[in-house]
Amino acid sequence: MGTNYEKIAAAIDFVSQNARQQPELNAIAAAVNTSPFHFQRLFTEWAGVSPKKFLQYLTVEHAKELLANKQHTVFDTAYQTGLSGTGRLHDLFVNIEGMTPGEYRNGGENLVIQYSIQQCRFGWYIVAATGKGICNLSFFESPSATAIAALKSHWPNASVRAGENGHQQKAIDFFKDNGGHAGDLKLHLRATAFQLKIWQALLQIPLGDVVSYGSIAQHVSQPAAARAVGTAIGSNPVGYIIPCHRVIKSMGEAGGYRWGGTRKKAMLAWEASRHVVALPVR
């Protein structure tokens, strides 16, 4: 899965850099040192659709169409269609619990945090959890001590150790099921009240949809705080599950992403290609 993602990421980069030339399958395959036949099969297995169809979802024009659909706001639609607010393929429920003020201030003192290194269709990731829920999920390029060091720096006073608990296993199962059913996911986050408010808003963006940074600011009744909203989105500690990748620039460009612009494009296009009507909530 990880190797496949690296090939897909390289293909996305190539197409993004050569979008005006509209490269054909042979050119894309050659750019990633793969035969056209093998690349077509690998890509279809990863994305569920052909490279040509998938690449349509990468365009700025497609993003603009999503942003221009003002018949219903995506936040209203999430509830009108019976979604739990997460916009997943199935009935995934996410519950966020903030740290106590004391835990927030002391950097996790007296907390035990377990972490493990995993792979999913979007590459390598590290997932960490306390006894109450997932506290970090970060993507990285290849296994190294850097990811572990970054986790420990975020929790300077916690006891951070390798291992898995039930919360992590639910996240791992979620990715193994292609972003499908994983039951109730609980998050235990070190954040300000404002950050939690923004992250809860992100959970209301349905799969296959996108919103602008300004839309998030308006949704939380902070239209003049676009910069603060952007900072809160960028500091999201739980990749993909809190879908900050679904927030893009108002002109349709993907914009930056904490774990790489190419990965963000891959997530958005994969979700668009997998977009189905979600099952009703329980």
Asked if residue 278 lies in contact with residue 208, where contact means CB atoms within 8 angstroms, the answer is no
Judged by DSSP in three states, 136 sits in strand
The structure tokens listed for 273 are: 């290609």
Give me the residues paired with residue 204 across strands. Answer: none
Single-letter residue type at 158? A
Q: Active site residue: 160, 185, 244, 269, which one?
A: 244
Single-letter residue type at 165? N
H/E stretch holding 187? strand 184-189
The structure tokens listed for 111 are: 């907390």
Beta strands in 39-169 (DSSP E): 93-98, 112-120, 123-129, 134-140, 159-162
Our answer to whether residue 120 is catalytic in this structure is: no
Closest CA to 75 of 222, 242, 209, 273: 209
CA distance 189 to 171: 15
A 10 A CB-CB count for 37 gives 10
Judged by DSSP in three states, 35 sits in coil
H/E stretch holding 31? helix 25-31
Single-letter residue type at 151? L
Asked if residue 253 lies in contact with residue 244, where contact means CB atoms within 8 angstroms, the answer is no
Give the active site residues. Answer: 244
